Structure 1
Amino acid sequence: MKQVLLDLQSGSIQVENVPVPTTTRGAVVQNAYSLISAGTESSLINLAQQSLVGKAKARPDDVKKVLQKIGTDGPLPAYQQAMGRLSKPEPLGYSCAGTVVSTGADDFEVGDRVACGGAGHAVHAEYVSVPRNLCVKIPDGVSFQEAAFTTVGSIAMHGVRNARVTVGESVAVIGLGLIGLLSVQVLKAAGCRVIGIDIDREKLALAESLGADIVSNYDGLAERVKAFSPFGADAVIITAATRSSAPIEAAGRLVRSQGRVVVVGNVGMDVPRDVFYEKEAEVVVSRSYGPGRYDRNYEEKGVDYPIYVRWTERRNMEAFLELVRQKRIDLNPLITHTFPLEAAPEAYNLINTGKERFIGVLLEYSPNGAGAAGTVTHLPEPAARRRAVPAGARTLGCIGAGVHALSALYPNLPGLPVNLAGLATATGLSAQTVAKKYGFSYCTTDYRKILEDPEIDAVMITTRNDLHAPMAIEALHAGKDVFVEKPLATDIDGLRRVVAAQNETGHRVRVGFNRRHSPLALRMKAFFGNRSTPAVLHYRVNAGQIPPEHWVHDDEQGGGMLISECCHFIDFMQYITGARPVQVYARAIEPTGNLQKYDNFQATLTFDDGSLGTVTYTTLGDRSYSKEMVEVFCGNAVGRITDFRDLELRRDGKVSRERRWLAQEKGFAEELQAFVKGEEPDLVGNVATTLATFAAWESIDTGVPREIDLGRVGL
C-alpha cells in the first residue's frame, strides 16, 4: 500500500510502498479520504526542515537526554541513537474515513463505513489500523469527505465543552482557521451567540456565512464586543496558532468577570496576571479531543470509561458526526482542495508556501488502491546494500523493531555472517524503513510470514515483553532456532511452555542477556576463575525515572522493571560465579506519586556455591551519575565494572584498569555472533534467572524469602 511519510532529516514528503497493517483490537480500514492538519503537520515539517542545530534549539529536552547518554554510554552510541531516530520517517495524519476490511473488535463488521482518529493510527495511507475507541461508524447521509473531518471536529467539540457554555451565552472565537470555523458552528448548534475574530477578511466573511452573529478584526474589537455583550463574553475560545501571546491578552480584555478562557490552539501563554486577576477569570488549556487522550488503556487496549465520563474521545467523535448528519455543521465550504494520494507532496507544498488560500485540504484514495494490498512487501536490493555472506550461512528473520532493537541490536546486523530474509513489525512504516536500511529481502506486518518462510532457520524476537514467550514457542514449533530479547517470559505459565517447546523440538533458545558477552565481563570472569571461596557481588543500577504511562509498567505488556530489567543483573551474577541462584529475598519501596511498586528495590540472592549477590535498582538517582556498577569481592581480590566502559581489577595491591572512551562494551555484537554461529546457549541458566525475578516479586509481596525451584517449570 501507499503511505505518506516525512523524512525527519530533510523535511521532504514522500509517498512510499509499505505493508498493509494488521489489527487485534480494532479495525483495518481502507481509506477513502484523509484530512491534512495544516497546523500540527506543518509544525512537524518545519522542524524536520531545520538544520541539526535548529532541531537542537527547538528540542532542548532531547539534547539534554543525548548529553546524558554521552556521559554514561559514550559519544558513539549517543550519536547512533540520535541519528537512528532521525533516519526513521514519521507518519503524517490523524483524521480519516473509509471502509472496514478486517476487524478484531465486536463493534465493527467488514463493510462498515467509519471515521478514524489518532496520530500514528489514522494516518495518510491506503489502509490504516485503528483501535476500537478511535474509530466510529459514519451515520447514513454523511459522506466520506465530511467524515474525514471527524477528529478535528472533536477537537473543536472538546474546546466548546471546556468552555462550559449554556444556551444563550455569548462566546468569542479568536482565530478562524479550520478548528475556529468548526467551533463557531458547534457553538451555534449549542444555542450560543458567537463573535468570530480574525485578521483575515475572507475568514471573517466565511465565519459569518457559517452562522457567527458578528465578526471582527482587532480594530475596534472592544467596542464591538461591548455592543454585542455589555458585560463581556461569557467565554473566549482561542483557536489561533501563533507564538505571540496577543490572543490570550485579547481574551483577557474580552472575557467577562469570572468568565472562562479556553486555549485550543498552540499560542503564546504569557498571561497578563493583572487583567485576569481583576476579573477572576479562569484559563483552561484544552487537551486534544477529550478524555482518553494519551491513556494507553483507552486508546490502545480499547478499555472505555464509564458513562459518567460523558464526553470521551470516541463520544465526541460520534457527537460531531451526528451534528453533521443533522446539517447543523456544514463542511462543504471548508473543503478548499482535494489531492490524490500520489500528489501529497504537492498538497503539503501548497500549505507550506501559502501560494493559494486554503482551509480544509483532503487526500483522496483510489477505490482500487494505488499500491499492493498485501501484508508483505518485497524490497529491491541496491548494489550498495549487497553483503558478502559465506556459503552455508544461516538465514535470519526478525520480528520487532523497537527503540532497543534499533539502537543496540540492528546496527550489528551488517557484521553478521547471515542472509537477512524477512522483517516483521506491527506497523508497515517501521517494517519498510528498517528492512530497507539493513537490506532485508522483504518486510511484513504479519510475523507468521517469518515463521512460515522455509528459507529462514533462525529468528530474532525483539517485541514487547508479553509477546516474547508466545512467539518463541511458535518459532520453535516452526522449526527455527530462536534469539529472544529478555525477559524470556513475564509469568510462570509462559516460562513453563517455553521450556516444554524447547524440549519437544530440540531447537536452541538464546535469551538476550548481553552483558555476559561483554569483553569486560569475560576478563572479570577470568580474573576470578581460580577462586576457592564463594563470592560477594553487588550490582547497583541508577536507572532514572521511566514515565508511569510507558508500556514497560503495564502488567500485561511489560511486567514492570523487576521482570523486565532485573533479569540482566541476576544473569550476570550467574555468569561470573558459574553458579545457580537458589533463593531470593527482596524488598521494595511502596508506590507513591509516580513511583511504581517494583521500580525501587533490593534483591539478595543465594547461589548454590554459597555466593551472595545483591541487586540494588533505583529510579531515584541523578541521571548524570553512572547508571550501572557491579562489584565482585572474592579471595582477597576486587573487580568492578562501571557502565561497561570502565574495568578495574585489584589483587594484592596491584591494580589493572581498562577504559573505553567512545562507547560501552555491553556484548550486543558478541551475543548475536554466538547465536548465528549456533553456539549452545545456557537455557537452564536463563530459566533460573527468569524464575529468580518471579521469586523476587513474590518475596516483595509476601515479605519472606522465596526458593528458586527449576522443577516448577519442568527442569
Structure 2
Amino acid sequence: MQQLTQKLGSGDMVIQEIPYPQVSKGMIVVKNHYSIISAGTEGSTVQAARKSLIGKAKERPQQVKQVLDTLKKQGPIQTYRAVMKKLDAYSPLGYSCAGEVVEVGEGITEFEIGDKVACAGAGYANHAEIVSVPTNLAVKLDSNINLKNAAYNTLGAISMQGVRQADLRLGETCVIIGLGLLGQLAALILKASGVTVIGVDVSEAAVKQAVKNNVVDLGLTRNSAGAEEQIFSITNGYGADAVVIAAATSSLDPINFAGAIARKKGKVVVLGAVPTGFDRDPYWYRKELELKMACSYGPGRYDLNYEEKGIDYPLPYVRWTQNRNMQAFQELIAKERIDIDYLTTHEFNFEDAPKAFDLVVNKSEPFTGIALKYDIDKEHNKKAIITSTSQQLGKLNISFIGAGSYAQGNLLPNIPNSNDVKRVGVLTNTGTTSKRVAEKFNFQFCATKEEDIFSEKTNTLFVATRHDSHASYVLKALQNSINVFVEKPLCLQESELEDIIDAKANIDKVVMVGFNRRFSPLTQRIKEKFGEGPMSMIYRINAGAIPKDTWIQDMEIGGGRVLGEVCHFVDYLTFINGSLPIKVSAQSLPDAHGLNDTLNIIIKFENGSTGTIAYYANGSKSLTKEYFEVYSTGSTAILNDFKELKIYGKGKPSKKKLMNQNKGQKEMVEAFIGGLLKDGKAPIPFNDILAVTKASFAVLESIKTGGQQVEISI
C-alpha cells in the first residue's frame, strides 16, 4: 500500500510503497476514502523540513541542546548516528482521515468490517491508503455520512475542546482570533450552541469567507479601524465573555488583543500556537482574566492507557474525552447542525498529494481546507516489499523485528558485511520505519506480517521491540529453530521465563540478551586484572527521572525501570565477579508515583562476592551517569562512565581514558555473530541470563517486602 512520507533532512516528499500495517490488539485497519491536510500543523512541519540544517536548528533550539548533550556524553559517532537517524527517516504526514474498516484486531467489539469510521492521531490517521488506528482514536459513523466532511475529524475535535474550555452559555459572546480551519470550526460549533460569535483575522479573505458562509455574527480584520469599539458595541459595552485564540504566530498581539476585548473576569483560551507572555497591565491584571489552554482533542490525549491500551475514562467523571469530542463533532455534521462543505476549497487525488503541499507551503492561491481523495477500488495485498536486488543467503541470515533508535544506532551498524552474514527481513510497528531500515541497511525485504520473518530464510533473529513483546518473540524464534538476540529484558513475567526455559531445553538454539556493558573494552581490562573470586563491588547509576506516563514506566508494556534497565547492572556485577547471584535485598525511596526507580540493591553471589547497585532517578543531570568500583585482594578499579578507568594496586596506578564513551555495543554484536559463525555458541552463558533475570524479579519482590532478602533458585 502507498503512503505519503517526507524526509526531515532533505525535505523530499514522496508517495511510496510501504508494508501493509499489522492488525494489532486493540487496533482497527482502515481503508482511507479521504484525509485532510492541516495547513497550520502540517504546513509548518513541511516548511521546516525544507529548510537548511541551520534553519532547522534555529527552529528547534531544544533539540540542538539535546544533540550537544549527546555529543558530550557519547561522542561524535553515536551523536552522528542519532542525528542521521532522524534526518534520514521517512516521516509520515497527516492526522485526520475517514474511511472503511477492513480488519479488526483482537479485543475489539465496537467495530466490525465494513463500518464507516473517522480517525485521528499523528502517526495513525496518516495520508495513506491503509491506516491502523487504536480504538479510542476512531469513531463509528452513519453508513450514509459524507466521508469528506467526516475526515475533518481531528480538526473538529481540537476545535471542540477549545470551545469546551471556553465554557460558554447560551446567549454569551465569544471572539475567535484566527479564522483558519480551527477558528472557523470553533465558530461553527459555538453558533450551533447559541453563542454570539465575532471573528477576527489578519486576512481579509478569511474574514470575508467566514461572513459569507454565516460562520460569524460579525467579522473584523485585525487592523481595521475601530475593531475594539465594534466588539464592545455588540457586547453592550462589557466585552467578550470568552476569547478563543486559534491563530498561529510568534507575535504577542493575539494574547494582548484578547486581554483588551475580554470582559472583566472573562476567559481567554489558547487553541493555536501562540506565545502567552502577555502585558500584565492594563487589561490582564485589572480584569482578573483567566487563561486556559486547550490540549489537542481533549482528555485522554498523551495518555498511554487511553490512546494505546484503549482504557476509557468513565463518562460520569470525564464527560468529554477526546473520543467523545470526536463523536460530538460527527453528530453535528450528521444532523446538519453545522455545514462545513464550504471549508474544502481544494481536492486532490492522493497521488497528487505533493502538489497539494506545494500549495500549502507556497501559498500560490487562497485555500482553507484541502482534501486528499483515495482510490477506494484499488486492491491491496500483504506481500513483503523487496528492497534489495540480491536474494543470496549465507551461514547467518539475519532478520529484525523492531528497529527503533537503539537498533539503528547500536545494533544494525555493527552487523558485518560478509558472504557469511546476510540481512534478510525487517518488521516494525510502522511501515515507514521498516522501509527505511531495509533500504539503508541493505535487507532483502521489509515485511508486512510476522510470517515473512519466521520463514525458512531466517536463522538468526534480532528483537528490538517494546519490552512486553520480547518473550513471545523469543518463544516464536525457538519454536521455529531460530537463534535469537533480544534487547533487554528477556521477559516481563516469571511465567514467561519458565516458558522460555522449557522451550530452550528442547531446542539447541542460542538465546542472547543485549547485556552490552560486559563487552566494553574497559570492562575487559578490569576482568583481566581481577579474574574471578570473592570481591566487593559498587555500581552507582545517576539514571535521571523519566515521566510516569512514559511507556518504559508502564509495568505492562515496559516493565518499569528495574526490569527494563537495572538488569544491565545485575549482569555487569555477575560478569565481573564470575559467579551467579543467589540472594537479593532491595529498598526504594518512596515517591509520589510509586515508580521504584530510586533504590539500593545488595546482591550476594555464589563465590561469596557482594555487590551494591545504587540506582538513582533523583540526581543532578550534570553528574556522569554510571560509576563503578571493585575491590579484591588489595586491588581496586574505578570505572567512570565507560570513558575512564583507573586500577590501583602495587606501585603506580594504571590509567586508561577513551576519546569517546564505549559501552560495548559494537563488541557485543561482533561477539554474538562471531560465536554463531565459529561454533554456534553465545558469548553470554544462558545460565547467566536466567540468573540475572531471576535476580531482577527478586529485586521487585524484595521492594514489596520492605527490603527482605530474597533467595534466587538457579
By the TM > 0.5 criterion, same fold? yes
1:232 paired with 2:239, answer yes
1:269 maps to what in 2?
276
1:351 maps to what in 2?
360
Question: What is the CA deviation profile of residues 126-179 of structure 1, one whole-angstrom value per residue up to 9, with x for unaligned ones?
Answer: 110100000001124421101110110111111111110011111111111111
1:249 paired with 2:272, answer no
Partner SS, residue 15 of structure 1: strand
8 Å CA contact retained: 1:246, 1:268 = no
How far 1:622 moved relative to its partner? 2.3
> Which ranges in structure 2 are unaligned for 5 or more consecutive residues?
none
> Which ranges in structure 1 are unaligned for 5 or more consecutive residues?
none
1:216 maps to what in 2?
220
User: Between Structure 1 and Structure 2, how many residues are aligned?
Assistant: 699
1:460 maps to what in 2?
462
Question: Which letter does structure 1 place at the counterpart of 2:103?
Answer: S
Partner SS, residue 124 of structure 1: coil
How far 1:415 moved relative to its partner? 4.5
How far 1:241 moved relative to its partner? 1.2
Which aligned pairs between 1:105-144 and structure 2 lie closer than 5 A? 105-144=108-147
2:476 maps to what in 1?
474
Question: Which letter does structure 2 place at the counterpart of 1:349?
Answer: D
Q: Within 2, Cα distance between the matches of 1:445 and 1:323?
A: 38
2:323 maps to what in 1?
314
Q: Within 1, Cα distance between the matches of 2:137 and 2:665?
A: 41
Partner SS, residue 206 of structure 1: helix
Please say which of residues 108-117 and 321-330 is displaced more in the overlay: 321-330
Question: What is the CA deviation profile of residues 465-493 of structure 1, one whole-angstrom value per residue up to 9, with x for unaligned ones?
Answer: 11111110111001111111111111211
1:49 maps to what in 2?
50
Q: Within 1, Cα distance between the matches of 2:128 and 2:443?
A: 23
1:376 maps to what in 2?
384
Which aligned pairs between 1:672-711 and structure 2 lie closer than 5 A? 672-675=670-673, 676-677=676-677, 678-680=680-682, 681-710=684-713
How far 1:375 moved relative to its partner? 5.4
Residue 292 of structure 1: which of 294, 300, 303 is its match? 300
Partner SS, residue 284 of structure 2: helix
Please say which of residues 670-679 and 49-58 is displaced more in the overlay: 670-679
8 Å CA contact retained: 2:641, 2:661 = no
Change (3 A) 1:109 1:404: same
Question: Which letter does structure 2 place at the counterpart of 1:248?
Answer: I
Partner SS, residue 156 of structure 1: helix
Partner SS, residue 710 of structure 1: coil
2:200 maps to what in 1?
197
Question: Which letter does structure 2 place at the counterpart of 1:232?
Answer: G
Question: Which letter does structure 2 place at the counterpart of 1:256?
Answer: R
1:279 paired with 2:287, answer yes
Q: Within 1, Cα distance between the matches of 2:172 and 2:428?
A: 51
8 Å CA contact retained: 2:398, 2:462 = yes
- Aligned CA RMSD, in angstroms, stands at 1.7
1:603 maps to what in 2?
601
Q: Within 2, Cα distance between the matches of 1:430 and 1:504?
A: 35
Change (3 A) 1:161 1:495: same
Please say which of residues 605-614 and 360-369 is displaced more in the overlay: 360-369
8 Å CA contact retained: 2:175, 2:200 = yes
Q: Within 2, Cα distance between the matches of 1:500 and 1:705?
A: 29
Partner SS, residue 309 of structure 1: coil
Q: Within 2, Cα distance between the matches of 1:95 and 1:620?
A: 39
8 Å CA contact retained: 2:581, 2:712 = no
Which aligned pairs between 1:529-544 and structure 2 lie closer than 5 A? 529=531, 534-544=534-544
8 Å CA contact retained: 1:140, 1:325 = no
Question: Which letter does structure 2 place at the counterpart of 1:369?
Answer: K
Change (3 A) 1:669 1:144: farther
Which aligned pairs between 1:418-429 and structure 2 lie closer than 5 A? 418-429=421-432
2:498 maps to what in 1?
496
Which aligned pairs between 1:336-347 and structure 2 lie closer than 5 A? 336-347=345-356
Change (3 A) 1:98 1:414: farther
2:435 maps to what in 1?
432
Q: Within 2, Cα distance between the matches of 1:229 and 1:271?
A: 23
8 Å CA contact retained: 1:696, 1:706 = no
Please say which of residues 557-566 and 137-146 is displaced more in the overlay: 137-146
How far 1:74 moved relative to its partner? 1.8
1:69 maps to what in 2?
70
8 Å CA contact retained: 2:162, 2:294 = yes
Q: Within 1, Cα distance between the matches of 2:286 and 2:101?
A: 53
State the identity as a percent: 40
Change (3 A) 1:492 1:278: same
8 Å CA contact retained: 1:649, 1:657 = yes
Q: Within 2, Cα distance between the matches of 1:288 and 1:710?
A: 50
How far 1:617 moved relative to its partner? 0.7
Please say which of residues 47-56 and 624-633 is displaced more in the overlay: 47-56
Partner SS, residue 640 of structure 1: strand
8 Å CA contact retained: 1:552, 1:559 = yes
1:664 maps to what in 2?
662
Q: Within 2, Cα distance between the matches of 1:253 and 1:519?
A: 65
Q: Within 1, Cα distance between the matches of 2:711 and 2:84?
A: 43
How far 1:325 moved relative to its partner? 1.0
Q: Within 1, Cα distance between the matches of 2:507 and 2:144?
A: 57
1:402 maps to what in 2?
404
1:92 maps to what in 2?
93
Question: What is the CA deviation profile of residues 61-96 of structure 1, one whole-angstrom value per residue up to 9, with x for unaligned ones?
Answer: 222222222222222212221222221121111000
Question: Which letter does structure 2 place at the counterpart of 1:612?
Answer: T
Please say which of residues 414-423 and 191-200 is displaced more in the overlay: 414-423
Change (3 A) 1:447 1:644: farther
1:35 maps to what in 2?
36
Change (3 A) 1:401 1:708: farther
Q: Within 1, Cα distance between the matches of 2:511 and 2:406?
A: 20
Change (3 A) 1:211 1:520: closer
